[in-house]
Structure 1
Amino acid sequence: MLVGNKSDLANNRAVTTEEASSFAQENGFLFMETSALTASNVEPAFNTIFEEIYKIIPKKAIMNIQENSNSPSAGQTIHLRPHRRMSVDSDEKDKLKQKQGGGCC
């Protein structure tokens, strides 16, 4: 899913809604614009992602997880891991910290 943030800053756009939507469609992505400032479309974006994940994971696989003797019992959490990990080297981490000024967001 391609999510365009800061939709509340329409005058400062580098990419139009039409360009982003077209790019998403050409690459088989869902597309939505959000604004963290106004909370516009933030929850629907997450809900859409969750719904798509739910469609992808076959119910049979979920049943197999539940039947597996090593699976968590009721009330426990199943942690799914991505197929590949992205890593950031220490220089990049330092640069990110400097950009953020040590605070969040």
Structure 2
Amino acid sequence: MDWLKSSLNAAIELELATLPPYLCAWWSIKDLGASAAGLIRSILMEEMLHMGLVANMLTTIGGTPRISTVLPSYPSPLPGGVIPFHQINDTNNFSSAPLLLCPPAAYLYQT
């Protein structure tokens, strides 16, 4: 059970670390009605939902979410050895990637 609690806290730390970059990206878009702004906002909502769901699972099994003790600093690598999609795409080294994050919007839309 300790392994599960530790893993869920690691998931919370990862979700928390993704929020500030997405928020900065969203706030930097002048036209919040643009499709890119909507996409980033939807990703933000999903990341917050994931963090809430994981925190609920953790408390259900008797754990305590560690949020205030794992505040991220930037720039820094993502927690848990997660490699962002663009780093893997640039090196084409998929074998060392424990987890792929969403591809950047530039891969989804013509710019």
Taking structure 2 as the reference length, what is the TM-score of the superposition? Answer: 0.28
Compare the two structures and name the one with the higher helix fraction.
2
Compare the two structures and name the one with the higher strand fraction.
1
- Quick one: higher RCO (CA 8 Å, sep 6+), 1 or 2? 2
